[in-house]
Chain A
Amino acid sequence: MTKDETKQVVLEIIADIAPDEDISNLKSDVRLRDQMQLDSMDFLDIVMELRKRHNIEVPEADYPQLASLDSCADYLTPKFEALGK
């Protein structure tokens, strides 16, 4: 799994949990919260969907790692690789 693929996975989840947001021009290095209206309930959903769809566990202490698309890719790609993806 490449980092770009990981970003795509995260974007797909955001598109499903926040269909009212435009995600076509998100900047990778800017916090998601600063580009969209995402609250703690939405971040919980990103974590829950990662578990449901990809068997990836994100402990609560690591939630800050999901701040931007870049940090998501850095944090999640090794987890995907560990699962052989």
Chain B
Amino acid sequence: MNTSNHYDVAIIGAGMAGLAAGIRLAHFGKKVCIFERHNVTGGLNSFYSIDGRKYDVGLHAMTNFVRAGVKGTPLTKLLRQLRIERDEFALCEQKRSRVAFGPRGEVSLTFTNDFTVFESEVARQFPAQIDGFRRLVALIRTYDDVSLGAQPESARTVIRRHVTDPLLEDMLFCPVMYYGSATEHDMEFGQFVIMFKALFLEGFARPLDGVRVILRVLLDKYRSAGGERRMKCGVQKIVTRDGHADALLLDDGTEVTATHVISTVGAPETERLMSGGEAATKHPTGALSYTETITVLDREPAALGWGDDTIVFFNDSEKFTYARSESQVDTRSGVICMPNNFDFGPDAHLPEGLFRCTCLASYDQWVNLPEDQYLADKARWYAEIQKSAQRFLPPLPSADALAKATLATDMFTPRTITKYTGRLGGAIYGSPQKIRDGRTAINNLYIAGTDQGFLGIIGAMLSGISMANFHILAAGK
């Protein structure tokens, strides 16, 4: 066999899952290559620059933060498995975040990385619910959410056994759904548990320089373990025969072979790679897509009078609707992120102020617009989203205060997501149907990352680790 074109493992996609899987496999002597179509790593959590300004694609906050000494959580498992020292990620904790519901955010639950704050907020706002809430939390703490063979169960059904006030129920679901759910209206309970722990029982943090820091650490580990990667070189077809992946046809027309293939590009997307066409996939595509506005400010958001919230999850309506947007953008609910409001230490701060707002958006209503219409719609919705989000922040001193402080703006739409990540339907959180054990109909092809079902950045990395361990390393292959 031609050694230069044969790998023990070929990984499709240099996002968090692909890099983490690659580190494990290379560390244990496998000949590994990661194929990435884009020119930068990170996948759904990548970065870019415009006019010399650095932006993170999706990272608001890294979830799953625990302090040094707390063991047995996803973050500490991941650090051990990838031989990363805590300090390398240089994580700085959030100040505080909120869930704000009502036309002007009248009902608000604050939370920090100290869970007792959230618990006391629930007790204050929903005194009749606190006993049920505590029972729910006890159940979540003991639930085996990393089991690869757990039976699916509706999270709404489980939560209603403990929480009977629909407002509190929706206020618990809103952050959990926005930070990782690929299913509309409800979630699988195991997925709810993963996200609840990640957001509330653990917490938010980020490196001062954002997702680049995480990716730099991963790339360094991968390189020093001997892993190869080919950038701007995607996989256009997985050539299969008799239920076995024989070869990968690359974008440049060449072929490589691999004993095992790990695909991190999504389950329906991987199915398409096998058919090599545009045909509809059997595996369902995600219905949920998003848009995000990014506003660069000449001062910190706090100096505008917006306080020190790190993240605000908001909803203005009586019912919280997490579903495919019927309008081009659904501004009723969303997420505000002010990345300046992490505790970076006394002498460290971001160079400029940042104000980011995410809302649900309709892929279909964005993807096929003529260019001039697309740009006009972006401008219109940018204004609408800002207006909606500001209802949940303290009022500004004057109507034009935000415009005056604005240095630059950017916005991504469902179209942008698919263009840069290849995710069908702009579905950041992938397919509603997760493949927990990563198996496919092809005996040497495994799914890792978003569509395997461990959510968030830390989840994506753990997914890569678990699939590499389970299918290749532990199997002694």
- Residue numbers of A with Cβ under 8 A of B are 16-20, 37, 39, 41-42, 44-45, 48, 51-52, 60
Contacts and interface: CB of A to CB of B under 8 A. Distances in A.
Interface string B69-113: 101100011011101011000000000000000000000000000
Contacts of A45: 80-81
B365 interface: no
A16 B83 contact: yes
A41 B27 CA distance: 15
A69 to B, nearest CB: 19
Contacts of A41: 77, 80-81, 465, 469
Contacts, number: 35
Nearest to B78: A41
B473 interface: yes
In the A-B complex, the 4 residue pairs with the smallest Cβ-Cβ separation, listed nearest first, are A37-B71, A37-B72, A48-B28, A44-B474
A20 B83 contact: no
A16 B69 CA distance: 16
A70 to B, nearest CB: 24
Contacts of B71: 20, 37
A42 B80 contact: yes
B29 interface: yes
Interface string B185-207: 00000000000000000000000
28 contacts: A16-B83, A17-B80, A18-B80, A19-B80, A19-B85, A20-B68, A20-B69, A20-B71, A20-B76, A20-B79, A20-B80, A20-B86, A37-B72, A39-B72, A41-B80, A41-B81, A41-B465, A41-B469, A42-B80, A44-B469, A44-B473, A44-B474, A45-B80, A48-B28, A48-B473, A52-B27, A52-B28, A52-B29
Interface in B437-477: 465, 469, 473-474
Contacts of B27: 52
Nearest to A48: B28
Contacts of B474: 44, 60
A74 to B, nearest CB: 23
B76 to A, nearest CB: 7
Contacts of A20: 68-69, 71, 76, 79-80, 86
A16 to B, nearest CB: 7
A51 B68 CA distance: 30
Contacts of B83: 16-17
Point out which of B72, B80, B86, B473 has the most chain A C-beta atoms below 10 A from its C-beta.
Answer: B80
A45 B80 CA distance: 10
A25 to B, nearest CB: 17
A39 to B, nearest CB: 7
Contacts of B72: 37, 39
A45 B81 CA distance: 8
B77 to A, nearest CB: 6
Nearest to A57: B476
A32 B27 CA distance: 24
A52 B28 CA distance: 7
Contacts of A60: 474
Nearest to A60: B474
Contacts of B29: 52
B41 to A, nearest CB: 24
B433 to A, nearest CB: 26
A39 B69 CA distance: 16
A71 to B, nearest CB: 21
B243 to A, nearest CB: 25
Contacts of B465: 41
Contacts of A39: 72, 77
A21 B28 CA distance: 22
B107 to A, nearest CB: 39
B305 to A, nearest CB: 42
Given A37-B72, A39-B72, 5 more contacts: A16-B83, A19-B85, A20-B68, A41-B465, A52-B28
Nearest to A42: B80
Contacts of A51: 28
A49 to B, nearest CB: 9
A28 B76 CA distance: 25
A18 B469 CA distance: 17
Point out which of A37, A51, A52 has the most chain B C-beta atoms below 10 A from its C-beta.
Answer: A37
A52 B476 CA distance: 12
Point out which of A16, A41, A42, A51 has the most chain B C-beta atoms below 10 A from its C-beta.
Answer: A41
B308 to A, nearest CB: 31
A2 to B, nearest CB: 28
A45 to B, nearest CB: 7
